Structure 1
Amino acid sequence: MSPATLMPATLTPADLLARLVGFPTVVGQPNGALIEDVARYLRAHGAEVTVLAGPEGDRSNLFASFGPKDVPGIVLSGHVDVVPATEPEWRADPFVLRREGDRLIGRGACDMKGFVAAVLAAAPAMGRMALRAPLHIALSYDEEAGCKGVPHLLDALPALCAPPEGAIIGEPTGLVPVLAHKGKAALRLSAKGRSGHSSRPDLGQNAIQRLVPVLARICAQAEALTRGPQDARFAPPYSSVQIGTICGGQAVNIIPDFAEAQIEARAIAGVSPKAILQEVLVDLPEGVSLDWLSEYPALALAPEAPLARLAETLTGRAAQGAVSFGTEAGLFQQAGIAAIVCGPGDIARAHKPEEYLTLSELEGTCAMLSSLIDRQAV
C-alpha cells in the first residue's frame, strides 16, 4: 500500500499497519507525511488533533483527544520513528508490509507501529461513543535516538488536556503490563590532537591516547557497578556502563589528530544514569571534550497503582516487574503522569531484518483497546 494517497476513513488494523510501515520514518529523518496523514484520519473520526513541530523543523509530535478534555483521561502513547533497515537479510522491501501466514513483516511492525495501528483502528469507536473520560493519542518522533521528541510533547501537555490519569506506552511486551525499566544516558567524548609522522611522536599529539585514561576509568566503573546497588527485577540486576563505539586515526604511521568514543549508562530504578557517567568524567584530560547525546529516566510504577490494576484488567495478564530496555514511560512518570509499558509483539524481534508482528497479536491489542473504550464510556 502506497502512502502517497490520502488515508481512507475506515481501514482494518492490518491495513493501517501497512499504511504506517509504508512511511519510511527512519529516526532522525522527517516524519511530516505520516503525521499529516494520521492527523487527517483522526480528525475524520472526530478527534481534536494538535500537531506539535519539534525544534528540528522537519519532525513533529501529534496529540489527539476524544471525549471531554477537562477531566483526567488515559494517554495511548507510541513513537512513529523506526531504526534503519539496511540489513541485507531483508527478503523484500522493508517499507512494504507483507503477510506470510500469521506474520505481518516490515520495519517498525513490532517496534512499534503495530500498537499505533491498533490505536488508530480504535479511533472510529472512540469517536462514536459518548466518553465520560477522555482517551488521548500521543505520537512522538526520534524515540530511537534517546527519546528526543516526546519531551516537547510533554512540555505542551498542560495546555492540551487535564492532567492525565495515566499513560500506556505500547512498546512490545507481549501485551504483558510492565511496571519498571532502566534509565539511560549517552554521551560522546571527542579528543583533538596534532597530526604528524609516527616516527616523531614528540612533534605531535596523539588524540587516541588522550582518550585512553578516560576509557580506562569507564571500564573500571563498569566492573564496580556489578557490585553496586542491585534490583532483582532486572537482568542484569545492576546498573551498567559500556563503551559502544570508538574511532580515530588514519593509518598506523600517522599520529591521530582526532578520536571519538560514545558511551552509555543504563541504570536501575532509583539510580541516575547521568550521575553514573559523571562520576568518572571529572577532570577530563586536555583536548578532550564531552557532549551529552540523550538521557531518559527509569520507570518505577507500584504494583498496587490504579494504572497497574487497570492494565491487568484490560489484558487479563499479571504485571511483570521489569524489563531492561528503556522507553518513553519514564519521561511520562517524570512529568507527573503514571505510566506503564504494554504493547504487542516481542522486543527480541525489534531492530532486526524481517521484523514482524503477528495478526493475532494485532487483534489482541484491538481487543484490549476495545475494553478500555468501554471503561471510558458513559
Structure 2
Amino acid sequence: MSDISNAARLLETLVAFPTVSHQSNRVLVAFVSDYLSELGVEHHIFPDESGAKEGLIAHIGPKTEGGVILSGHTDVVPTEGQSWRHNPWALTLEDGRYYGRGTCDMKGFVALVLAAVPQMLAQPLARPIQLAFSYDEEPGCLGTLPLIDVLAQHYPRAESVIVGEPTQMKVVTGHKGGIGIKTTLRGLAAHSSNPGRGVSAIAYALPLIEWHEQQMALQKATASHSGFDPAFTTLQVGTITGGTALNTVPDECIFESDIRYVPPQTAEDWVAAYRAEAAKVEAAMRESHPEASVTLSDIDIAPALAPEPGNAAEELARRLTGDNSDNLVAYQTEAGHFQTAGYATVVCGPGNIAQAHQADEYITADELHRGAAFLSKLIDSLH
C-alpha cells in the first residue's frame, strides 16, 4: 500500500489555513510556493484583481506540449452554522478518517499532489506534469479562467486535465453546467392604504419566480435518459429580499436563482430565455411607472462538462484506475472551463462528494491511499 504519511503532514498544514472563499488564500499559496521552491520546481503565482487571492501553476518535466494538468482549488466553504465535533481548522485522525474543513473538497487531493512532487522530479518524464491550483472555485469557478489564461501565457500546452474533485477515484466524464443570476426589480413605493399609486416589485417578481418552476416542470416532463441524476435541467430561486414595511408597497425586490443545465444545452440559451421573460415583466411594470426596471446581474456561469468518449484524459484515467463505468454528476467543477478551452478533461479524485461542505467533513485513509497510488501510476506512465 502506498505511503501517505507525507501527504497527511501536508494536509494538516493545508487544513490549518482557513481559506474560506470570502477570505484570502495567500498564506496557503505562500506555503505551497516555499515547498516547491525547496524542491527546485518552477512555478508561477498570479493574483486576482483585488490582490487578496492568488493562484499557482507549476511545471515539472520537459518544456514540451502534450502533458497532464492536475487541477485543484485552494478555497473552501464556510463552517458557520454547522455543528462540528472536531476543530474544522485542525486535522484530526479518528477511526481511519481525517477530519477537517477541505479534507475532502479538495485539500486532500492537493496534499497528495504535493507529496508526489519528489517522485515526479525523480522520474525522467517524457511528458510534463503541470500543477494548477486556483482560487474562488466555490463561489462559481471564478479563478479558473484567469488560471487557464496564465497557463497559456507561460507554459507549453498540455493534452489532458484531471480535475481531482472527490469521485472515490471513479472516472467522471460529464457534469451539469451551472448558472447563478441575481434579479433586481425596482418599482414605486406607496402607502398600503392606496396601493394603486405604487408598483409592487415583489408582486412583479412572482411571475419570474414562477417561471423557474414552470421551466423545471417542462424540463422534467420532456426529459430523456441523460445519465444525470436528476436527468433534467433544474431551476430554483434560492434567496429573496424586498420591502421595507408591511404598510408600504415595496419598491425593490432582489432574488437569486440557480440553473443546473444538462449538456448539450448551453448557458447562453438559458440566460437569453430568462432575459426575454424579464423584459416582458419590465414592460408590464413600466405601463404603470416608466422608470421601473428589471435588471439581471452577477451572472456566474460554470460550463458543463460534456462527455467526449475516448478523449485522451478519459483513456488515461481509465487505464490508471481500471474504472470503465459511466459516471455523470449533477455538481459543477472547473472541468467545464478546461474543456471549453480545448483540453481533454475528466474529473477523478479521492474522497466522497457526500462529505463535501458538510460538518465534520472527512476523507478516509483508504481514499488517500487510492489517490496516492493513482498519482504514482500516472507519473510512471509519463516517463
Please report the TM-score for the alignment, with normalisation by the length of structure 1.
Answer: 0.93
Show the counterpart of 1:323: 329
1:363 corresponds to which of 345, 365, 369: 369
1:29 corresponds to which of 23, 26, 47: 23
Pairwise mapping of residues 49-68 of structure 1 onto structure 2 (< 5 A)?
49-68=43-62
- Partner amino acid for 1:268? V
The alpha-carbon deviation at position 160 of structure 1 amounts to 2.1
Show the counterpart of 1:216: 210
- Asked if the contact 1:301/1:308 (under 8 Å) is kept, the reply is no
The alpha-carbon deviation at position 123 of structure 1 amounts to 0.9
2:70 corresponds to which of 51, 59, 76: 76
- Asked if the contact 1:221/1:280 (under 8 Å) is kept, the reply is no
Could you tell me how far apart the structure 1 residues matched to 2:262 and 2:341 are? Answer: 19
Show the counterpart of 1:334: 340
Pairwise mapping of residues 141-160 of structure 1 onto structure 2 (< 5 A)?
141-160=135-154
SS at match of 1:56: coil
Summarize the Cα distance change of 1:143–1:295 in structure 2 as closer, same or farther, 3 Å threshold: same
Could you tell me how far apart the structure 2 residues matched to 1:293 and 1:31 are? Answer: 24
- Asked if the contact 2:170/2:327 (under 8 Å) is kept, the reply is no
Moved more, 171-180 or 155-164: 155-164
Deviations 1:151-182 (A, max 9, x none): 00111222222221100000110000111111
- Asked if the contact 1:52/1:62 (under 8 Å) is kept, the reply is yes
Deviations 1:230-251 (A, max 9, x none): 3431011111211121121233
> Does 1:248 find its partner at 2:265?
no
Q: Percent identity?
A: 39
1:301 corresponds to which of 295, 302, 307: 307
- Asked if the contact 1:241/1:263 (under 8 Å) is kept, the reply is yes
Please report the TM-score for the alignment, with normalisation by the length of structure 2.
Answer: 0.92
Question: Structure 2 regions of 5+ residues with no counterpart?
Answer: 283-291
- Asked if the contact 2:68/2:128 (under 8 Å) is kept, the reply is yes
> Does 1:266 find its partner at 2:260?
yes
Could you tell me how far apart the structure 2 residues matched to 1:279 and 1:88 are? Answer: 37
Deviant stretches of 4+, over 6 Å: none
Could you tell me how far apart the structure 1 residues matched to 2:344 and 2:310 are? Answer: 12
Deviations 1:208-245 (A, max 9, x none): 11212222222221211113453431011111211121
- Asked if the contact 2:159/2:312 (under 8 Å) is kept, the reply is no
Moved more, 236-245 or 368-377: 236-245
The alpha-carbon deviation at position 361 of structure 1 amounts to 0.7
Could you tell me how far apart the structure 2 residues matched to 1:292 and 1:314 are? Answer: 40
The alpha-carbon deviation at position 61 of structure 1 amounts to 1.1
- Asked if the contact 1:179/1:319 (under 8 Å) is kept, the reply is no
- Asked if the contact 2:312/2:344 (under 8 Å) is kept, the reply is no
- Partner amino acid for 2:8? A
Question: Structure 1 regions of 5+ residues with no counterpart?
Answer: 1-9
> Does 1:353 find its partner at 2:359?
yes
- Partner amino acid for 1:361? E
The alpha-carbon deviation at position 129 of structure 1 amounts to 2.2
Count, aligned residues: 368
Could you tell me how far apart the structure 2 residues matched to 1:240 and 1:55 are? Answer: 32
Could you tell me how far apart the structure 2 residues matched to 1:185 and 1:231 are? Answer: 22
Could you tell me how far apart the structure 2 residues matched to 1:191 and 1:55 are? Answer: 29
Could you tell me how far apart the structure 2 residues matched to 1:110 and 1:11 are? Answer: 17
- Partner amino acid for 2:228? F
RMSD over aligned Cα atoms: 1.7
Show the counterpart of 1:343: 349
Moved more, 305-314 or 223-232: 223-232
- Asked if the contact 1:246/1:261 (under 8 Å) is kept, the reply is yes
- Asked if the contact 1:301/1:339 (under 8 Å) is kept, the reply is no
The alpha-carbon deviation at position 127 of structure 1 amounts to 1.9
Summarize the Cα distance change of 1:334–1:272 in structure 2 as closer, same or farther, 3 Å threshold: same
Moved more, 118-127 or 278-287: 278-287
> Does 1:188 find its partner at 2:182?
yes
SS at match of 1:261: strand
The alpha-carbon deviation at position 296 of structure 1 amounts to 1.7
- Asked if the contact 2:189/2:198 (under 8 Å) is kept, the reply is yes
Show the counterpart of 1:7: none
Deviations 1:325-349 (A, max 9, x none): 1111011010011100001111111
Summarize the Cα distance change of 1:319–1:68 in structure 2 as closer, same or farther, 3 Å threshold: farther
The alpha-carbon deviation at position 303 of structure 1 amounts to 3.0
